[in-house]
Structure 1
Amino acid sequence: MAALTFLLGYVGSRRANTTPDFLVARRGVPATRNAAAISGEYLSAASFLGVAGLVLKDGVDALWYPIGFTAGYLAMMLFVAAPLRRSGAYTLPDFAEARLGSSNLRKFCTFFVICIGVLYLVPQLQSAGLTLNTITGLPAWLGGAVVTVIVVVNVLGGGMRAITLVQAFQYWGKLFAIAAPTFVLFTIFLAGPGNGAQPVDSSGVLRFPEDVEVTTVDPVRVKVDVAVDLSATGQVNGAFADGEVYWTPGRYEVGAETVLRFTAGSPVPVVEGSPTSNHDWLRPETDGLSGLFETYSLIFATFLGTMGLPHVLVRFYTNPDGRAARRTALHVLYLLGLFYLFPTVLGVISRQYLPQLLVTGKTDAAVLMLPSTMQPNLLGQVLGAIVAAGAFAAFLSTSSGLVVSVAGVVSTDIRSGRVSDFRWATVLTGAVAIGLAMLLPRSDASLTVAMSFALAASTFCPLLLLGIWWRGLTWVGAIAGLVVGGGLVISAQVVTVISSHTGRWAPSLLSQPALVTVPLAFLTMVMISKLTARRTPEDVNQVLLRLHAPDPLGFMRDRESRFGSSGDRPRRVDAAERGGSSPSPIPPQ
């Protein structure tokens, strides 16, 4: 997979030499190829590994993740895709300035693009380390380093033009890598509960099918509903244990690097927050009001966050026109819906074959371990190798898009925007991401990515929807909404991290706050814009006409870029350069 990625990146970068090549692939990517590239980029570690892991751990409630990840493109297709392309912008901050005429707003957008990009990139690199460590036993940091090097080299070679072909290929590679093992393993599963699986008893209690030794990687809190005898070596509830222990129903703190040994037929303790019985695992909303709040917050974050993800939106700038952008979003719906069928099935099967992962909470490894667990022979090794290759394709494609989007914004808004600035920004982005991946503790990839969605839904979603569909938005209101929505999400994330290391005292509201932060962001933008109505851009009518007029009328024109050589683009004078006066009409092209 690494070799194919290098080869396709080289093929795609041969004719990349200007800034538009590196940022938007000269806006010449066909809709079908762009849809495959977007799908390849979007199906990250959270999709390939995380969805199955969450289904294994949380059951029916986890299905909102693949539903939300897919349905977000419906809202994007209806409200954002075509107008965004017609804006002629190159990046999200570029669109914000083109719509509202404020360089200050552009700076705020740049900050949040970097935050979302890095927050999304770190779990990709951490999951790459998990994959390499699970398959080969090599150090986890090496997987993240390998992905970083491959991605940075490809992006340095040709930016968006180089990675488009790579990402389109990697979608189909990931689809095969998840579909083929699923068909084989599901057939074996239907043949009967043998091969190391444990049937569920009549009370719904999940039990270990054989003697199991579990070693924790990080400190974990587990919940026990049925008393269990086991052997422990390490820290349990703050005290050192070395020998037989008896756990009565309750909660137990297990330290890092603690070895737990269970005998066949023992009830399975599960990480706190997950259903302990299969009856609860099969039923939605067993956590009462707090669980209901988290579900609706997740729906808000995933349904609305997709249209605010910088690395997804930047791909719509590569379409030739607005109609192609809308067709691209429609094709993405098909491709994602097809893909998400398979990790869901694998998550269900893993419940019966890999209960030991519920003790440590490291359920992201389920897809990697399931083939060799169900088929401890050559077939299992082949299927495991295919899954590992698909997992690396997920890390590579998503990381490539994130690096391009962040480097593009850094090079155009912090530097002068030349090709050399883009390349320096690429190296810097890769270095910061791998550094954070090694320093920060690892959590479920889907949960970390969901927080990225919450940040995108609370910042760029209201900015795009109001900026495209409401003429009353002002740059002051936009900045206020970004600060309120983004600030609340970042604060909630900081408090949640602190709480996880100091006794888990933070309420569940803070772990997924989109149900509160998204409406507040919208409300703030609307109210502040009404109070500052005199700051409405003078050219708002012409800008909205450009966003919504059908493509054949010829109002669409690429925005005058603030970067690159003069030979890369035609010269056009914007309203800002005329001192704020209303621009002259744009002649049809």
Structure 2
Amino acid sequence: MIQNLWSLGLVVVMATLTFLLGYVGSRRANTTPDFLVARRAIPATRNAAAISGEYLSAASFLGVAGLVLKDGVDALWYPIGFTAGYLAMMVFVAAPLRRSGAYTLPDFAEARLGSSNLRRFCTFFVICIGVLYLVPQLQSAGLTLNTITGLPAWLGGVAVTAIVVVNVLGGGMRAITLVQAFQYWGKLFAIAAPTFVLFTLFAAGPGNGAQPVDADGVLRFHEDVAVTTTDPVRVRVDVPLELSATGRVNGAPADGEVYWTTGTHTVGAGTELRFTAGTPVPVVEGAPTGNADWLRPQTGGAGELFETYSLIFATFLGTMGLPHVLVRFYTNPDGRAARRTALHVIYLLGLFYLFPTVLGVISRQYLPQLLVTGKTDAAVLLLPTTMRPDLLGQVLGAVVAAGAFAAFLSTSSGLVVSVAGVVSTDILPGKVRDFRWATVLTGAFAIGLALVLPRSDASLTVAMSFALAASTFCPLLVLGIWWRGLTWVGAMAGMVVGGGLVIGSQVVTVVSSYTGDWAPSVFSQPALVTVPVAFLTMVVISGLTSRRRPEDVNQILLRFHAPDPLGFIRDRVVQRFGTAEEKALQDGARGDGPSS
């Protein structure tokens, strides 16, 4: 009970600080450019902290450690890819994107290729990627609240949605910039401080609840353990074992002793499994069963090698296509500041990802029961009190819980702003009140999906968002910035093919999961196929429709690549909505006030 009070108290403190900082940041936000791009006045260092705070989502704070616990060294490609993607963005995209003067990704597409049809098409993919990324944030918030307090999981997602919507309603991008910058440093402390303490305890020697490993590298329970599944799960056993079960095992009712031979076994939702001390630990299907395989990369043959390279493509190239990340580069004063922002982000992310990786390694010996249920995202939340079930563990667990909520709040804020910005400017007329209506609609739609859809590993869901971004917006940005031959027809064709293949592969993967897992790895991680196909489609179709090339393409590319002091930047926010002073004069003449 004390642990719940500590954790709940710090979560409430984090939520309160988020709300107050959002209020402070929103006091001077009263025009459309304030809500969309914070008047393009955010310096590089603050913007880098805000991007890092937004980018470090549930997949980073909880998912990376959970994947390291489950998959071992192969999971390290996730934090490497999440960070290295900013290197590609810094080199190829950041400065030209800011010099374009755009305020959303669809606006960039129209500015570069002169097509309102392409703009509307891009709007669809921005909404898809944003919602697909937002749903696991809200679901993980529910997992966190349920883990630390026992309260219903839906309550966490609803609470995060409410706080984010209120903050965004108050000031849009201008309000959340201060919030996200603060939350990066809050998350860094919340993951770093417990890691230092827990690693010190771990390095001091075995004990404190650590699970023994036998000479063959098999992980075993060191005491009697009871595990209850929340969802149906398939586990693999390499060493025959005996256990007790109450529920459904291998499709049949079970209430007593069960003997598992080597191979794969199915366990129904709500089934309680009871293991005695010394029993080998079964692991969810697809994860390495022994520590030797856990420590060695690429033990699954050609299929696993394909998945690894596909993951590299998705994370390296998907970063430069994420709408909620790109929108923050529109807030820099100029192209040079945008490039410096990307460089600072690499430093900040590289520092952060050291800590969940360490926690994932330690969790292997202290939380093997999570390998049975597959709910490894909870490892970071459970590890402090598992290693130290005293006041120290309770305080560390509370700090981690507060950091996890900061991750959900900051990432959700950026996603809501990016989706609402696109909805308000490309579907609605684009006034401040339209942005606010779009914010409410986005929040309501996302929390509805989060409550209805089944929950999966946060990192795996987010990785699919990266694959979709890498197969649609990455080719559009790279070719649009660096190749004068791109046409709007070619861009649209490439996005249809790349995005369609990713969405189709996900449909196949879901169907396969319910019908015997027959789909090969190319469907679960398709980026290695879909990204080159998207690039090739854009090039070929653009070549066949060269007459659709914008007549002023040379002037457009000059504006993208000319040094900032030459003054070629044209702000499309000002072109569309006017300056703040002009807007105030227009509102005063109509008698509408500043928020019309």
Q: TM-score, normalised by structure 2?
A: 0.95
Aligned partner of residue 242 in structure 1, secondary structure: strand
Aligned partner of residue 96 in structure 2, secondary structure: helix
In the alignment, which residue of structure 2 is the partner of 1:573? none
| Partners of 1:3 and 1:405 in 2: CA distance | 23
Superposition RMSD in Å: 1.0
Q: Give, as a single letter, the amino acid of the residue that structure 1 aligns with 2:391.
A: L
In the alignment, which residue of structure 1 is the partner of 2:353? 340
In the alignment, which residue of structure 2 is the partner of 1:216? 229
Displacement of 1:494 after TM fit? 1.4
Which of 164, 169, 178 does residue 177 from structure 2 map onto?
164
Equivalent residues in 2 for 1:274-353, closer than 5 Å:
274-353=287-366
In the alignment, which residue of structure 1 is the partner of 2:155? 142
Q: After the TM superposition, list the runs of 4 or more consecutive aligned residues in structure 1 that deviate by more than 2 angstroms.
A: 560-570
In the alignment, which residue of structure 1 is the partner of 2:26? 13
Q: Which stretch shifts more, 506-515 or 41-50?
A: 506-515
The answer on 1:152 being equivalent to 2:165 is yes
CA contact (8 A) 1:197 1:353 kept: yes
| Partners of 2:440 and 2:355 in 1: CA distance | 35
The answer on 1:229 being equivalent to 2:242 is yes
The answer on 1:119 being equivalent to 2:146 is no
CA contact (8 A) 2:212 2:221 kept: no
Q: Give, as a single letter, the amino acid of the residue that structure 2 aligns with 1:219.
A: P
Aligned partner of residue 572 in structure 2, secondary structure: coil
CA contact (8 A) 1:30 1:324 kept: yes
**1:156-210 Cα distance to aligned partner (Å, 9 max, x none):** 0000000000000000000000000000000000011101102311101011121
Equivalent residues in 2 for 1:364-513, closer than 5 Å:
364-513=377-526
Q: Give, as a single letter, the amino acid of the residue that structure 1 aligns with 2:228.
A: T
In the alignment, which residue of structure 1 is the partner of 2:594? none
Displacement of 1:375 after TM fit? 0.1
CA contact (8 A) 2:103 2:573 kept: no
Displacement of 1:504 after TM fit? 1.7
Aligned partner of residue 555 in structure 1, secondary structure: coil
| Partners of 1:102 and 1:396 in 2: CA distance | 35
Q: Give, as a single letter, the amino acid of the residue that structure 2 aligns with 1:229.
A: E
CA contact (8 A) 2:104 2:422 kept: yes
| Partners of 1:569 and 1:197 in 2: CA distance | 66
Q: Give, as a single letter, the amino acid of the residue that structure 2 aligns with 1:488.
A: L
Displacement of 1:565 after TM fit? 6.4
| Partners of 2:307 and 2:127 in 1: CA distance | 26
| Partners of 1:569 and 1:85 in 2: CA distance | 23
Displacement of 1:503 after TM fit? 2.1
| Partners of 2:120 and 2:471 in 1: CA distance | 17
**1:315-361 Cα distance to aligned partner (Å, 9 max, x none):** 00000000000000000000000000000000000000000000000
| Partners of 2:444 and 2:573 in 1: CA distance | 31
Which of 495, 517, 539 does residue 552 from structure 2 map onto?
539
| Partners of 1:561 and 1:252 in 2: CA distance | 61
In the alignment, which residue of structure 2 is the partner of 1:173? 186
Which of 16, 28, 45 does residue 58 from structure 2 map onto?
45
Displacement of 1:566 after TM fit? 7.3
| Partners of 1:204 and 1:196 in 2: CA distance | 18
Aligned partner of residue 256 in structure 1, secondary structure: coil
Aligned partner of residue 88 in structure 1, secondary structure: coil
The answer on 1:242 being equivalent to 2:255 is yes
| Partners of 1:437 and 1:255 in 2: CA distance | 22
CA contact (8 A) 1:174 1:394 kept: yes
In the alignment, which residue of structure 2 is the partner of 1:67? 80
Displacement of 1:498 after TM fit? 1.9
In the alignment, which residue of structure 2 is the partner of 1:188? 201
| Partners of 2:215 and 2:240 in 1: CA distance | 17
CA contact (8 A) 1:412 1:563 kept: no
Q: TM-score, normalised by structure 1?
A: 0.96
In the alignment, which residue of structure 1 is the partner of 2:565? 552
Q: Give, as a single letter, the amino acid of the residue that structure 2 aligns with 1:396.
A: L
Displacement of 1:140 after TM fit? 0.4
CA contact (8 A) 1:92 1:310 kept: yes
Displacement of 1:502 after TM fit? 2.3
Displacement of 1:562 after TM fit? 7.5
Displacement of 1:226 after TM fit? 0.3
Displacement of 1:560 after TM fit? 5.4
CA contact (8 A) 2:33 2:573 kept: no
Displacement of 1:270 after TM fit? 0.3
| Partners of 1:499 and 1:125 in 2: CA distance | 26
| Partners of 2:48 and 2:573 in 1: CA distance | 27
Q: How many residues align?
A: 570
CA gap 1:41/1:566 in 2 versus in 1, 3 angstroms: closer
Aligned partner of residue 394 in structure 1, secondary structure: helix
In the alignment, which residue of structure 1 is the partner of 2:117? 104
The answer on 1:515 being equivalent to 2:512 is no
Q: Give, as a single letter, the amino acid of the residue that structure 1 aligns with 2:425.
A: T
Aligned partner of residue 194 in structure 1, secondary structure: coil
Q: Give, as a single letter, the amino acid of the residue that structure 2 aligns with 1:12.
A: G
In the alignment, which residue of structure 1 is the partner of 2:49? 36
Percent of aligned positions that are identical: 86
Q: Give, as a single letter, the amino acid of the residue that structure 1 aligns with 2:504.
A: S
Displacement of 1:496 after TM fit? 1.1
CA contact (8 A) 1:309 1:456 kept: yes
| Partners of 1:198 and 1:311 in 2: CA distance | 41
CA contact (8 A) 1:416 1:563 kept: no
Q: Give, as a single letter, the amino acid of the residue that structure 2 aligns with 1:459.
A: T
CA contact (8 A) 1:411 1:425 kept: yes
Aligned partner of residue 384 in structure 2, secondary structure: helix
In the alignment, which residue of structure 2 is the partner of 1:574? none
**1:45-85 Cα distance to aligned partner (Å, 9 max, x none):** 00000000000000000000000000000000000000000
| Partners of 2:516 and 2:36 in 1: CA distance | 45
CA gap 1:563/1:552 in 2 versus in 1, 3 angstroms: closer
Aligned partner of residue 94 in structure 1, secondary structure: helix
Task: List runs of 5+ in structure 1 lacking aligned partners.
Answer: 571-589
Aligned partner of residue 226 in structure 1, secondary structure: coil
In the alignment, which residue of structure 2 is the partner of 1:587? none
CA contact (8 A) 1:418 1:563 kept: no
Displacement of 1:569 after TM fit? 6.2
CA contact (8 A) 2:237 2:260 kept: yes
| Partners of 1:290 and 1:366 in 2: CA distance | 28
**1:18-61 Cα distance to aligned partner (Å, 9 max, x none):** 00000000000000000000000000000000000000000000
**1:448-497 Cα distance to aligned partner (Å, 9 max, x none):** 00000000000000000000000000000000000000000011111111
| Partners of 2:325 and 2:45 in 1: CA distance | 15
Displacement of 1:567 after TM fit? 5.5
Which of 85, 88, 101 does residue 88 from structure 1 map onto?
101
| Partners of 1:143 and 1:233 in 2: CA distance | 30
Aligned partner of residue 5 in structure 1, secondary structure: helix
CA contact (8 A) 1:16 1:162 kept: yes
| Partners of 1:240 and 1:212 in 2: CA distance | 21
**1:239-262 Cα distance to aligned partner (Å, 9 max, x none):** 000001110101111000000000
